[in-house]
Amino acid sequence: MRFLQMAQTARGAARLRRTGLRYVVLLSSEREKTEGGGIFCAGGFGAGGCFGVMWGESKATLIAAVSDLQRGVIETSATAATAGHFIPAFIVPIPVWWDTEAEACTELGHSIWTYINKFR
């Protein structure tokens, strides 16, 4: 973390104090995806359609590192979210999606807010 290294030097700490910057939050994410099943579709002059089933899941891990430049501390918080889909197909594919990433993002934001307010 370059900001934390800069804050630990006398020159860097003085420069950061002049800007009034105290916290730096670095966000990153990792995504893991799995899928299965299959759908077969065919068509002709008279009609067409699909038959089969597909499913999948996507797991996202959100990670935040909060650097307190005045105290020289790094606090790391991680949260995970799973989103998935299920697609049954009998003549017409009908996708059904579910998503919990917004909930995980809200939870991560709340933990960052709680950490920062702890030292105010």
Nearest CA to 99 among 82, 117, 76?
82
Average pLDDT, the chain: 80
Residue ranges per structural domain of the chain: 2-118
Read off the pTM.
Answer: 0.56
SS3 70: coil
Contact between residue 95 and residue 85 where contact means Cβ atoms under 8 Å apart = yes
pLDDT of residue 110: 82
Residue-wise pLDDT for 65-78, tens only, equals: 887 777 767 777 77
Q: Model confidence over 82-106: pLDDT tens digits?
A: 778 888 888 787 888 777 677 777 8
Mean per-residue pLDDT, 7-13: 76
